[in-house]
Chain A
Amino acid sequence: MASDEEDFVFHGTPIEREEEIASRKKKAVAGASGNLRTLPAWKQEVTDEEGRRRFHGAFTGGYSAGYYNTVGSKDGWAPQSFTSSRKNRAGARKQSISDFLDEDEKADMEGQSLSASSQFDTFGFTAAEYSRKQVEKEQHERPSAIPGPVPDELIAPVSESIGVKLLLKMGWRRGHSIKDVRASSDARREARKAFLAFSTDENTKETSDSMVSETEVETSLDPQFSEDIKISESTPVYVLNPKQDLHGLGYDPFKHAPEFREKKRSRLSANKEAGFRKPLSMKESLFGPKSGKIAPGFGIGALEELDVEDEDVYGGYDFDQTYVIEDEQPAKPSNDNRLRLTSKEHDVLPGFGAAKNSDYSMERFNPPKIPKDFVTRHKFSGPLEAETKPTLSAPPDVPPPADNNLKLLIEGFATFVSRCGKLYEDLSREKNQSNQLFDFLRGGNGHEYYARRLWEEQQKRGDQSKLTIDVKPSSSVQKMTAEERGSLLGEKPLQRSLKETDTSASSGGSFQFPTNLSDTFTKSASTQEAADAVKPFKDDTAKQERFEQFLKEKYKGGLRSTDFNRVNSMSESARAQERLDFESAAEAIEKGKAYKEVRRATERPLDFLAGGLQFTSGGTEQIKDTGVVDMKSSTTYPKREEFQWRPSPLLCKRFDLPDPFMGKLPPAPRARNKMDSLIFMPDTVKAASARQVSESQEHKKETSIEEPEVEVEVENVERPVDLYKAIFSDDSEDDEDQVMNGKIQEGQEKKNEAAASTLNRLIAGDFLESLGKELGFEVPSDVPYQEGTKPMEEENKSRSKPESSSEKRPDRSGFKEKVEEKTSSLTLGSEDEKSRKKREKSPRKRSGGNDLSSPSESSGDERSKKRSSKKDRYRNNDSESDSSSDYHSRDKQGSRSRRKRRESSREKRSSHKKHSKHHRSKKSSSSKLVYSSDEDRKESKREKRRRRD
C-alpha cells in the first residue's frame, strides 16, 4: 500500500466500472484496427479519439462533446475576457472570402496544394502561379494603383527550372517554339490552315498547362502576326477567333452545359462547309454513362435517377434535333432542322404552302405503249401446221443406223426439231450443207430413221399438251395450264392433306401448324369411337351421356356455342368437377390410344420412351393431334395446364358472379418452385396436372377393371418404394415396405406410373398443406383435393390391420417429414428417423413430462380459446383425446378423426388439418428432442395445446 493512499478517507464503495472501461478499450482497439467497420451499420459506434461513445443514452449525457462532455478544451469553458464595447466599438466587419471557405479550400487558396516544385517546373507555371499569389498577397498589404488582381501575363516566372536550363543548353532560345523549326514551312502552313479551319470556336478554350495545348497554340497563331513560322514564339495568344456571336463580351453560353459546345462547333464548321450537316448526336455527351439511348425530349426530374426504362428503346427518331434550340443566332431559323422534309406526303417546308398551280411542271414520259397484238413470247414465224401436218402419215418404222453416234445425233436432232419447229431443221440444213454428219437432213444416210424419230417426237409432244392447236389454229398463244406454269416456275404441287387416323408415317418430325385448323374441323372420328368404346362412366348413364356430349364438343372445334350451362341441375362446382373428370378421362383415353400406337411402333425406342413419359407429363389439351407427332414432341406448343385459382370474393362480386369457393377457406399459395424441385418427374409436371392425371388413371382403373382389389392395390401404391429408397436408403423400415410392396414393383408399368403420379399428388398435397401451415394459412380442401384424400381412407383401412402400427411403416406423417426434411437437408432425415423411434419407444416418459407441465397449460388453453369459433366447433369432437395423456392416443385419435372424415366434408377438412398439425408438431419435437429436455417439455406443451384445438 502506498502511503499517499492513506491520506484519503474513503466513504462507501467505489463504483467499479471495469467492464465498461474494458469494453470501451476493446472497442477502441477494434475500431483502430478497423474491425468495427466490418460490423453491420447498426452495431457500429461512433467514438471519439479516446474510444468513448459519441452518442449514448440521454441519462448519461446525450452525446459526448467537447472535452469530456464539457466545452472547448482541456481547460474547459473559459469566458472571454471582458472588453468594453464602449471603447472598442464593433465596426462594420468586413467579410472576406476566407470566412466562407473550408480548410481545404483555404489550403488551395494559399497555394499549398500539390504542385511541381520550382526545381522541376519546366515551363514555369508553378512559378508563375506562385508569383501571382505573392503579388496578390502583397497587394493586400499595400494598395496599388491598379485595382484587382494583376493579369497573369504581366508576371513572368522568376526562376529558371531545370528543363529550361537544359533546353537553353540544347540551343533553345527564349520565345521560340520547342519544335523542330527546320521542318518544311509549307507543309506546316498547310497544316496550320487546316487546323484553323477546324478550330474556329477555340475562344472558350483555356490555355491549359499541357504540352499539347502549347504546341496547339503555337501552331494556331493569328495569321497576321506570325507569317514567318520560323520565329514562332511561345507567347500565349488569347484571341484566336474574331467574335462572331451576339453575346456580351466574355459570356459563355455553354458555361454550365459544355456538352452543347461540341454540337455548336460541329454546326458552325458544317455551315462553313457545303451546308450539308450530318446530325451529330449529342446524346452521348449529355447523358454519358448509359448506352446513350435516352428517350428524347422528356427529361426526368431532379430527384429521379436515370433508369434503364428511360432508355429509348425505339431509337432511330431524331427528336433531339428539335430539342436543343439555341437562340444566339437570330438570323437563322431556329428550327432549321425541320428543313428536312419530314415525310413524303408533306412536300412543303414549314411556313410555306403548296401552290395550286405550279409554273414548273415536270414533263412526264409515259412508258411506251405496247401494241395490243404484241405477244410476250417470241414465236417463230414458221407455221405450226407445217410440222403438225406430217404427223398425219407416219413414216415407216426403220431400224436405226448402225453408227451409234449418228443414231444419237439423229435422235437428239429430232427431239430438238420437234420442239423448235421445222424452221430449225431448214436452218441447220442450210448451215450444215457441207457437213457429212448432217446428211440425214438432205435425204442421205439415216434420213428414214430421222423422219421416223421426228414423227415420234412430234407425236409425243402433241400427246402431251398441244391438242388444242388443231382446234384453234388462229390463237397464236398457247394457253398455259396451272400445272405447266407451276412446273415452269419450279413449284411443287401441294400435297393433299390426307388425314388418316394414323399420321405417324407421313408427318415425321416437322409439325405443320396450318393443317391444324382443318384438323379441328375434320377431327378424326376415331377418337370419339374410341371414347365410345371405352365408356369410362358406364355406371352412370347420365354422366356417360354428358361425357359423350363433352367429347363431341371438344372435338367439334371451330366456333361453338358458349353455353356450358346445359345441365342446370348441377351446381357450379360440381359441373366444374365433372368437367375436369371428363377432360382427364378423355385425355386418358387419348393417351391410351396413343400409347398403343407407340407400342406398335416398337422399332423406335425413343418414341416409346417419350410415350412413357407422356403418360405422366404434359397438359390436357396437347393430345389433340393424333399419332406419334405428339408422342415425339412432348414440348409441342401450345401446352395447356390447369390450376386451381381462387378469385377473391370481392372480385366475384365486382364481376357479378357467384363465388365458386363460397364459404370455403382460402387456398394455400401455390408453391411452384419448391414443388418442381420436389418432384422427380419431368419438369413440366406440375402437381396439379399430376393430380389430374392420377385421377384419370383411377378413373380408368375403375372403369376397365372393376374389381375391389384394384383399390387395395392403389392403396398400396400410395406408399411407393422408390422415393424412400432414393432418399433414405439406409432405413430398415423401408425394406419392410419394399417387401410389402414388392409385388407392385414387379407389376405392370402402368401401375407404377399410377403410383408415381399418386405419389406426386401426395407430395403436392402434403407440401401445400405444410407450407400453408408455415405461412399461417388455412389449408384448403378444394374439390380435387377431396378426391385426393380418398386414398387416405383406404390407407386407413390398411392401418387398422394388426401389427401394422405406426412404427412399422412410415405413414404419411413420416413421409411428410421426410419430404420436409428433404427440402432442408437430407442427412437430417435419418437422424430424425432415429429420434422418432426413440420417442416412440418411451411414450410414458413423455406423457409424464406432459403431466409435469400441466400447470402451464392454462395459458395455452386461453390462447386456444381465442382462436376462431370454427375451430372450437371441432374441438368438441376431439375433446376425449384431451383426457387421455397416453401418447398413443394421438394415433388413435388420428384414425378416429379419419373415420369421421367420411361423415362430412367439413369435418374431413378439420380432422385433416389437425392431423397434419400433429405431423408438424411431431416433426419439430422430434428434431428438438435430441438436443435438450427443456425444449422437449416446451414442445410437448405446445403439442398438447395443439391437440386441444
Chain B
Amino acid sequence: MSATAELPTKEAHVLKGHEGAVLAARFNGDGNYALTCGKDRTIRLWNPHRGILIKTYKSHGREVRDVHVTSDNAKFCSCGGDRQVYYWDVSTGRVIRKFRGHDGEVNAVKFNDSSSVVVSAGFDRSLRVWDCRSHSVEPVQIIDTFLDTVMSVVLTKTEIIGGSVDGTVRTFDMRIGREMSDNLGQPVNCISISNDGNCVLAGCLDSTLRLLDRTTGELLQVYKGHISKSFKTDCCLTNSDAHVIGGSEDGLVFFWDLVDAKVVSKFRAHDLVVTSVSYHPKEDCMLTSSVDGTIRVWKK
C-alpha cells in the first residue's frame, strides 16, 4: 500500500466558478497554472495550488471542449462546439486568431513543441493543422483519413497522433511520411502519450484503457474497472509513468499500476462524470474536472 501513498488522492482545493459541466482541465507546461473550459462557454485560468481563479476568457459561442497552453505560457488555444479554433493571448485575454474550417465541433486541440502550429481534431473526421506564425487562414494540412470523429490528438516532436471513434489510433510521422494506423476495434475516446514517448494510452469506449507500444503497435496492457461508455472521459499517465489514471462516468478516479494493470487506488472524486484528468508534469498533483461544475485539485 506504499504505492497509494504517493498518489494524489487527497483533495487540496475545489475550484468553483464554471456554470455547468467542466469539459477539460489542463495544467500548463510547468504545472503552476491550470486552464479549464466548459459548457458555459468560458475558459478559466486558475492557480490550482492556491485555489484561486485568475482570469476568465469569454468569446466562444458554444461550449468549449479543449484547451492547451503553449510552453512559454504566452498563448493558448481552445476549441469547442462553435467549430472554430481560437488562438488566445493569455495576458490580454484577447483572441488573436480564429481558425475556421472544421465542419463540425472540434474535440481537441494541441500545440506543437515550438508552439508554431495548432492541431485540432474534429467531428468532421479530420485533423487540421493551423499555422500560428503566418496570417493564413487556411489550414496547413488537413488529415482526413479517419473514418469517424477524431476525439483526441497528441503531438510529439515529429509525429501527430490522433484517436478516433473509428477505433484507430493513427500516427502520422513527418520524418518518413507514413501513417501508421493501429486499429483497436473499439472507439477511441482519449489518447495520451507516456512521458518516455514509447507508449500511447488509448481510452476506449468499452470501458477499457489500452496501452500500445508505439513502435510496433502491439497491445501491452489493458486497464479495466472504470466506466467509460458514452462520455468523453480522459485518461493519462502519471509523470513517472508508474501509474495509469482514468476518470470514470460514475465520478470515480482510478489508478492502475502500469505494468500489472491492478487497480491500485480508486476514489470518488466527483458526484458526476469525470470529464478530464490532468497530471502535474513534475509533482504529485492531479486535476479532475466534472460535469458537476467543479474542478478538484488532488495532492498527496
Which residues of A line the B interface, CB within 8 A?
295-298, 300-301, 304, 309-310, 312-314, 316-317, 319, 343, 513-514, 516-517, 520, 553-554, 557, 559-560, 562, 572-573, 575-576, 579, 619-622, 624, 635, 637-648, 650-652, 654-658, 660-661, 670, 672
Contacts and interface: CB of A to CB of B under 8 A. Distances in A.
A638 B116 contact: no
Q: Which of A314, A316, A572, A576 has the most CB of B within 10 A?
A: A314
A586 to B, nearest CB: 10
B245 to A, nearest CB: 19
A647 B272 CA distance: 41
A313 to B, nearest CB: 7
Interface string B41-71: 1000000000000000000011100000000
Contacts of B175: 572, 576, 657-658, 660
B291 A317 contact: yes
Contact of A650 (B131, B218, B221, B273): B131
A657 B158 contact: yes
B39 A295 contact: yes
A85 B176 CA distance: 92
Interface stretch (B27-35, B88-96, B182-190): B182-190
Interface in B253-288: 259-261, 271-273
Nearest to B179: A645
Interface of B: 19-21, 39-41, 61-63, 81, 105, 112, 114, 116-117, 129, 131, 133, 140-141, 143, 145, 157-158, 167, 169, 172-186, 196-198, 210, 212-213, 215-222, 230-231, 259-261, 271-273, 291-293
B174 A520 contact: no
B198 A654 contact: no
Contacts of B157: 655
B39 A298 contact: yes
Contacts, number: 182
A520 B129 CA distance: 35
Given A624-B218, A651-B141, A298 B272 contact: no
Given A650-B131, A657-B158, A661-B177, A314 B273 contact: yes
A624 B180 CA distance: 16
A304 B82 CA distance: 11
Contacts of B180: 640-642
A635 B133 CA distance: 44
Contacts of B20: 295-298, 317, 319
Nearest to B132: A654
Contacts of B186: 637
Contacts of A620: 217
A200 B187 CA distance: 53
A319 B259 CA distance: 41
27 contacts: A298-B20, A298-B39, A313-B231, A316-B272, A317-B272, A343-B271, A513-B221, A554-B215, A557-B216, A621-B182, A621-B216, A624-B218, A637-B184, A638-B185, A638-B210, A638-B212, A639-B185, A640-B216, A641-B183, A644-B178, A645-B143, A650-B131, A651-B141, A657-B174, A660-B174, A660-B177, A670-B145
B112 A638 contact: no
A304 B62 CA distance: 11
Contacts of A316: 272, 291
Contacts of B131: 650, 654
A517 B257 CA distance: 13
Contacts of A573: 176
Contacts of A656: 114
A575 B177 CA distance: 12
Nearest to A782: B177
B219 A643 contact: no
A559 B184 contact: no
A579 B62 CA distance: 46
B19 A652 contact: no
B182 A640 contact: yes
Nearest to A557: B213
Contacts of B116: 654-655
A353 B275 CA distance: 31
Contacts of A575: 176
A619 B183 contact: yes
B183 A517 contact: no
A513 B179 CA distance: 25
